[in-house]
A and B are shown apart, each in its own frame.
Chain A
Amino acid sequence: MTHPGETSAEALSVHALTSAAKDVLEGGIPKLWVHGEVSGFKAYPSGHWYFTLKDAEAQVQAVVWKGSTFRIRPRPEDGQQVRAFGQLTVWPTSGKMQFAVTAMEADGEGLWQKRFDETRARLEKDGLLDPARKRALPRLPRTVAVITSSEGAALRDVIAVVRRRHPGVHVAVLPAVVQGEAAPASLLAALERLRRWVAGEAEWAGEALPVPEVLIIGRGGGSREDLWCFNDEAVARAIAACPVPTISAVGHETDVTIADLVADLRAATPSVAAEHAVPVREELRAFVDQLAGMMADGLQDRVETGRREVERRADALAQRAQLLVQRRRARADRLAQRLAGQGPRAVERQRGRLETLGATLEARSPLAVFARGFAVARGADGATLARRSAFTIGTAFDLLVQDGRVRARTESVEADAPHLRSDR
């Protein structure tokens, strides 16, 4: 029984040796879990990760090939106790034994959970998770900013929902890488652009949209690794500092990320986020109509109150007036009764008195004297010529008779007259 390299003449190449060792190791030790501490972690520009996995007595070189790193989030750190799943092998070129890791988790609690909790604790300490920080969303934003992949279903969903609910709202897409190593920096750059836009610091080529009043940040569903960038602490702090209210929409209902914790509102999916961001136009119209109704009712009530007040006062006035009239009428009635009580006889007597009075007055009237045939002589100066001495021979005078005036002249003046007694 011989084997390769048994004799000097059959000496193997170094490569054949290390390749043989590789086969033996891979054949003899299946893929398995190893626990230990991470040390000397280094991510190379090529995309591969190298580190040492060690415990108190031993150590082994470990590698995560580029193709596997995306499954491990977050990156391991030096000093971390981990459980790594992989294949022990020999890298033929270097001849070194190494453990090729394809999966990893924190020892004890999951690596994810541990990092998640640490980040969360730091943000909480800074007050960024305080519910009092949560801002209200605008009822109708003119523009909705969306930070997500320009290729993803998330963006299509958001646009479709916004269009359906309110066709007057603008959507400003700030594209970002939302998975893999480049994602955190890309998300941060997009958030910074939004900040500059809202702050008015940006210089524009061409016409801009109205300034966004709300931000939707997120992506569609994916593996836990895919969503990891939304657990990045710097991204979370930038979301918390966003100048407009934020809605996070990462993955599915069950995926909760750090971004969800700091956002003003967490939506289960991008579609739901869009529903929160934009109201249904018809509902808003109905609300405005309702306000119009409230205003009209309010004014009508106010006018009605005023009218009732006027009526109340008018009623009070009318009642007082009526009372007054009633009192007066009562007095008038009493007076009339008193008069009536004196009887018709008294009235007759009064009438008799009046007639006597009238006759007396008539008798004394000068007109009555004329009627009886007397006349009055009146001089040019209007004085009554009552005696002989008032007459001068030849002068004219007026004789006033019952129905007129007679012009006369004095012929003679005599003492002897038939109406005088002879002894006078």
Chain B
Amino acid sequence: MTFEQTLARLEQIAASLDRDDLPLEEALTLFEEGIARLREASAQLADADGKVRTLIEQAGGVFEVRE
């Protein structure tokens, strides 16, 4: 899942949990999923190894990234 998708799902879950007509059982299941997604999102935010690379097109159209 991309960060985008994870975040979108989290927003959906938060909105669902805000509803009073949601059966409690379902609310708990959603909450559990939400916790898992929160962990994913936090992990994605923890990355700190961003690289700067230049795309080179070699002869024959082969791509390569270089520093």
Q: A193-B55, A202-B63, A205-B63 are in contact. Are A295 and B34 (CB under 8 A)?
A: yes
Q: In the complex, how many angstroms separate the beta carbon of A36 from the nearest chain B beta carbon? A: 45
B3, B13, B52, B53: residue with the most chain A Cβ atoms closer than 10 Å: B52
Q: Is A12 an interface residue (CB 8 A)?
A: no
A205 to B59, CA, bound (A): 11
Q: A163-B50, A172-B53 are in contact. Are A203 and B65 (CB under 8 A)?
A: no
Q: Besides the contacts A140-B3, A197-B63, A292-B34, what 20 more A-B pairs have beta carbons closer than 8 Å?
A: A139-B3, A140-B7, A166-B50, A168-B46, A170-B51, A171-B53, A173-B54, A196-B63, A202-B62, A207-B65, A208-B65, A285-B45, A287-B7, A288-B41, A294-B18, A295-B14, A298-B17, A298-B18, A302-B22, A302-B27
Q: Which chain B residue shows the least CB distance to A287?
A: B7
Are A295 and B65 in contact, with the CB atoms below 8 A?
Answer: no
Annotate B23-47 by CB proximity to A: 1 below 8 A, 0 otherwise: 0100110010011001001101111
Pairs across A and B, CB under 8 Å, 7 listed:
A139-B3, A140-B7, A140-B45, A167-B48, A168-B45, A204-B62, A284-B45
Q: In the complex, how many angstroms separate the beta carbon of A170 from the nearest chain B beta carbon? A: 5
Binding site for B on A (CB under 8 A): 138-140, 142, 150, 159, 162-163, 166-175, 193, 196-197, 202-209, 213, 281, 284-285, 287-288, 291-292, 294-295, 298-299, 301-303, 305-306
A162 to B48, CA, bound (A): 12
Size of interface on B: residues with Cβ below 8 Å to A: 41
Q: Which chain B residue shows the least CB distance to A150?
A: B54
Q: In the complex, how many angstroms separate the beta carbon of A276 from the nearest chain B beta carbon? A: 15
Are B64 and A299 in contact, with the CB atoms below 8 A?
Answer: no
Are A288 and B45 in contact, with the CB atoms below 8 A?
Answer: yes
Which of B27, B42, B50, B63 lies in contact with A288, CB distance below 8 A? Answer: B42
Are B17 and A204 in contact, with the CB atoms below 8 A?
Answer: no
Q: Which chain B residue shows the least CB distance to A208?
A: B65
Binding site for A on B (CB under 8 A): 2-4, 7, 10-11, 13-14, 16-18, 20, 22, 24, 27-28, 31, 34-35, 38, 41-42, 44-55, 57-58, 61-65
Q: A140-B4, A291-B10 are in contact. Are A174 and B55 (CB under 8 A)?
A: yes
Are A205 and B62 in contact, with the CB atoms below 8 A?
Answer: yes
Are A159 and B63 in contact, with the CB atoms below 8 A?
Answer: no
Are B38 and A292 in contact, with the CB atoms below 8 A?
Answer: yes
Are B4 and A138 in contact, with the CB atoms below 8 A?
Answer: yes
Q: Which chain B residue shows the least CB distance to A306?
A: B24
Are B65 and A209 in contact, with the CB atoms below 8 A?
Answer: yes
Are A175 and B48 in contact, with the CB atoms below 8 A?
Answer: no
Q: In the complex, how many angstroms separate the beta carbon of A142 from the nearest chain B beta carbon? A: 7
